[in-house]
Structure 1
Amino acid sequence: MSEPAPSFEKIAFVAASTPEAEAARERLVSRYGKASDDEADVIVALGGDGMMLQTLHAFRGQGVPIYGMHRGSVGFLMNTYREDHLPDRLAAAVQVQIHPLMMEAVDQDGVRHRAPAFNEVALFRQTYQAGKLRVSIDDKVRLDELICDGVIVATPAGSTAYNLSAHGPILPLGTPLLALTPISPFRPRRWRGALVPDKGRIDIAVLEAGKRPVSAVADHYEVRNVVSVSAQLDVASSSAMLFDPDHGLEERILREQFVY
C-alpha cells in the first residue's frame, strides 16, 4: 500500500528583502493564509538561491520541509513561481534530504570556529599572494603543497554553485561524494581537483599563514586569518527540500551537464 500524500495545511511564507519577493509573499499570504514558523507544516521561501540557503540554515534540524519559488536573480534551487494550486503542488512535490558540511576553522589566535554549510566550505587568499595549503584526507596527506587562490569543498547540492564556476564537477544528488576543487591553481599546475567519499574528513593546513593569510567561508559565515580548516559531512543534521516532480533538483543537475 502506498503512503498517503503529505498534508501541508499550515504554510509559512518567508521572502527575500526585494520588492518582487515581498510583493509575492503578500499575495500568497492573502490567498492561502499565514502560519507562524513554529506551527507551519511547510516553509515556502521566495527569492533566489541565496534566500534558499538562508532558509535552510534558519530551519536546520527542525523537521519542516522547505519549498522554494523563484523570485530572485539566481534560482537553481527554486521551483517555478506560480500562485495557483499551491497546496496541490506541495502535496505532489518530491522531498530530498540534504546534509550540511560542518566546518571547523582555527584562526591565528587559536580560536575555533564551527559553522554548517549546505553548499560549500571554501578557502580564499586574503592578499595579493597566493595561498599555500597542505591537503589531508582522513589524516593522510594527499597534497604536500597546493599553491592557489583558494580551494572549495562542495556538497552535491552545492556542486552547481561556486564549484561549477571554478570548473569543478557536477555531483547528482545521492552521490556519496564531495568535490574538492582548486581555485586558480599554480602548483601543481595540472591538478584539477578530486572526488572525495562523503564519509571522509578533509583537513587543510595553511602554510606560511602570516605571510600568505587565508580566510575560510561556510556558505555565509566567514573566518579570517585561519591556520587550519576541516570539513566533514554532518550526518546527524539534515534539512528537507521540496521540488516539483517535473522540475526536480536531480533533473536540473543533469541538464546543467549538457549546456554549452
Structure 2
Amino acid sequence: MPKRIAIFGGSFNPPGNHHAAIAVRLAQEFDEVRVIPCGPRPDKPTTENVPAVYRAALADIVFGGLAGVTVDLSDFEQDTFTRNHELQTRFAPLGEVWHVVGADLLVGGARGESLIQRTWKHGVELWQQANFAVLKRPGYVLSDADLPPHVQIVELLVEGSSTEIRDSLSRGEPVGGLVPPRAQAYMARYGLYRAPVPGNWARGTLEGAPFFLQADTAIPKVRDLSIAVDGKHVAMQDAEFISVIGGDGAMLRSIREHWRARLPFFGINAGHLGFLLNAPEQVQAHSFPPSDVIFRQMPMLFLEFEDEEGRRHAAHGFNDAWLERATSQSAWLEITVNNVPRIPKLVCDGALVATAAGSTAYARSMGAAPLLADTPAWLLVGSNVLQPAHWRSALLSPDTTVVIRNIDPLHRPVQAFVDGLSRGRVVALHARMSRAAAAELVFCASHDMAEKIAAIQFGA
C-alpha cells in the first residue's frame, strides 16, 4: 500500500498554535505530513513583509518537533511559490498525494465554480484526479454535491488566524495563547511583525533557561569546563538553547547537526581562537546560564556542488565553502557572478566563499579583511593567485550568485569543502546566501562578536 502524504501548504505568516494542531491532526490520518510554507505570492503581498529567513525559522520552531511532520523550506530557498499541480508532480513518486485545503475552497464545486476550479493552475484537472484532505470547522455546512471525486474530511478542533496574530503583534499585544512560547520569544527578540525592518541582533537573557550540552569530555580542557555546567543540562527536546564546549570546529559541527532545531547556540571556548564562542573567563565571571547576552542571527550559505554528470547536490554552510586543487597542479577556475563571467581563468590553489562569520577564518588567512557581524555582504577569495596577478578577493552583496567552475577537470581536478568537511571531487560550486538557513549565536554582552572583530582589526 503506497504511503499517504498530506501536503499542507500555506503562508504560515506567522504559524500559530492552530496550524500546529492541524498538523498533529493530519499526522493521525496520514503517513507523512509535509508542511510547505510558500514563497512570494502576488495575491498575498504580506508574505514579503517579513524576510523568508525569519519565516523559515518560525516554521521550524512551530512544526519541527511534531511526530510525522516534515517542514519543507524549498519555496523559501528558491524564492518561489510552488503551485499544487507542481507539488503533485514532485511528490507523486513518493506515495499517494493528498492536498490539504479548507472547506471554503470547495464551495460551488458542483457548478464548476469553486476557487480550486476557477483560480488554481490546472485546477479543473486536479479537481477530477487529485486527492483532497478537506479541513472542516465544527458547525460548518459543506454540501456533498460540492465535493471533488477523491476527498477525505478532517474535522478541525482548533481555530485561529495568522492575521489575528500579526494584528496583535503590531499593536504590541500579547500572543501567548496564539503561538508556542519559543515562537513568541523569537518574534519578540527580532521585532517581527512590529518593526518595518526586523533586527538581526538583540540583547536578552538566558538566565534560568534549560539547555542541551554538546561537549567531548574525553578532551581534558573540555571536561574541566563541562564540570561547571554538569547536571544542569536537559535533553534536546526540552532545551531552550544549546551549549557547545570546544573550539570553532565543535561549534560548526553542532550548527551543521542542529540548526534546523532553531535553538540559539552558546559556545564556551576550549580551543584556540574561538571566534564563534565565548571565552571561559567571561562565562565563569557570572552565573550560568548568563543573564546578560546578545543574540545574533547569522546567515548561512546555500551551496550546490555539480558533479561530472551535471547533477547538483545541495548543502548549507555556516562559515565558508571552497574548491581547492586535488593534485600538485594549480587549479584553473572560471568565476561567474550573477551570470556574468568576471574572471575567465583564475589560476590558483583554490577559491573560497565566506559569510561575515566565516570572514574571520580561512578567508582572513587568505588575506581578506574580516567583516563586521552585521555586514550585509559576503566574500569571494582566491588562494595563492597566480593569474590575474593582482586579484585577491571581492565583496559581494547578499543577493549575489557565484559559480566557481573548473575549466580543466580532467587534468586539474578540484575537491570541495564546506566548513572544513570534504565533499569530494566536483566540477563546479554554485553559491549564494541562503534565504532559509540561519543560526543564532549567543555571546556574553561584555564581549560580543563585534568586540571580537574590533580586537582583530586593531590588534587588541
Question: How does the TM-score come out when normalised to structure 1?
Answer: 0.92
The residue type paired with residue 173 of structure 1 is A
Q: Quick one: structure 1 residues 124 and 8, their matched pair in 2 at CA, closer, same or farther if it must change by over 3 Å?
A: farther
Displacement after TM superposition at 1:104 (Å):
0.5
Question: Is the CA contact 2:244–2:250 (under 8 Å) kept in the aligned structure 1?
Answer: yes
Give aligned-pair identity as a percent.
Answer: 28
Aligned to 1:49: 248
Question: Which secondary structure does the structure 1 equivalent of 2:359 belong to?
Answer: coil
- Which structure is higher in strand share? 1
> Distance between the aligned counterparts of 1:76 and 1:193, measured in 2?
22
Q: Does 1:171 align with 2:371?
A: yes
> Distance between the aligned counterparts of 2:294 and 2:408, measured in 1?
47
Q: Does 1:150 align with 2:350?
A: yes
Q: Does 1:20 align with 2:245?
A: no
Measured against aligned partners, the alpha-carbon deviations of 1:117-167 in whole angstroms (never above 9, x if no partner) come to: 111011100111100011011111111110100011110001010000000
> Distance between the aligned counterparts of 1:88 and 1:223, measured in 2?
36
The residue type paired with residue 130 of structure 1 is S
Q: Does 1:65 align with 2:264?
A: yes
Displacement after TM superposition at 1:254 (Å):
1.7
Aligned to 1:194: 394
Highest relative contact order (Cα 8 Å, sep 6+), 1 or 2? 1
Question: Which secondary structure does the structure 1 equivalent of 2:451 belong to?
Answer: helix
Displacement after TM superposition at 1:225 (Å):
2.4
Displacement after TM superposition at 1:227 (Å):
1.1
Question: Which secondary structure does the structure 1 equivalent of 2:238 belong to?
Answer: coil
Question: How does the TM-score come out when normalised to structure 2?
Answer: 0.53
Question: Is the CA contact 2:304–2:429 (under 8 Å) kept in the aligned structure 1?
Answer: yes
- Which structure is higher in helix share? 2
Aligned to 2:338: 138
| Structure 1, gaps ≥5 residues long | none
Displacement after TM superposition at 1:78 (Å):
1.2
> Distance between the aligned counterparts of 1:88 and 1:60, measured in 2?
20
Question: Which secondary structure does the structure 2 equivalent of 1:236 belong to?
Answer: strand
Question: Which secondary structure does the structure 1 equivalent of 2:385 belong to?
Answer: coil
Aligned to 2:459: 259
Question: Is the CA contact 2:316–2:437 (under 8 Å) kept in the aligned structure 1?
Answer: no
Aligned to 2:384: 184
| Structure 2, gaps ≥5 residues long | 1-171, 173-187, 190-203
Q: Post-superposition, which runs of at least 4 consecutive aligned residues in structure 1 deviate over 4 A?
A: 1-8
5 Å matches for 1:81-230? 81=280, 82-83=283-284, 85-87=286-288, 89=290, 91-230=291-430
Question: How many correspondences in the alignment?
Answer: 257
5 Å matches for 1:240-255? 240-255=440-455
Displacement after TM superposition at 1:84 (Å):
5.9
> Distance between the aligned counterparts of 1:107 and 1:259, measured in 2?
42
> Distance between the aligned counterparts of 1:5 and 1:223, measured in 2?
38
The residue type paired with residue 21 of structure 1 is V
> Distance between the aligned counterparts of 1:109 and 1:203, measured in 2?
17
Displacement after TM superposition at 1:108 (Å):
2.1
The residue type paired with residue 98 of structure 1 is M
Question: Which secondary structure does the structure 2 equivalent of 1:28 belong to?
Answer: coil
- Work out which of the two has the higher radius of gyration on C-alpha atoms and give 1 or 2: 2
Aligned to 1:74: 273
> Distance between the aligned counterparts of 2:205 and 2:374, measured in 1?
22
Coordinate RMSD, CA, aligned? 2.0
Question: Is the CA contact 2:265–2:442 (under 8 Å) kept in the aligned structure 1?
Answer: yes
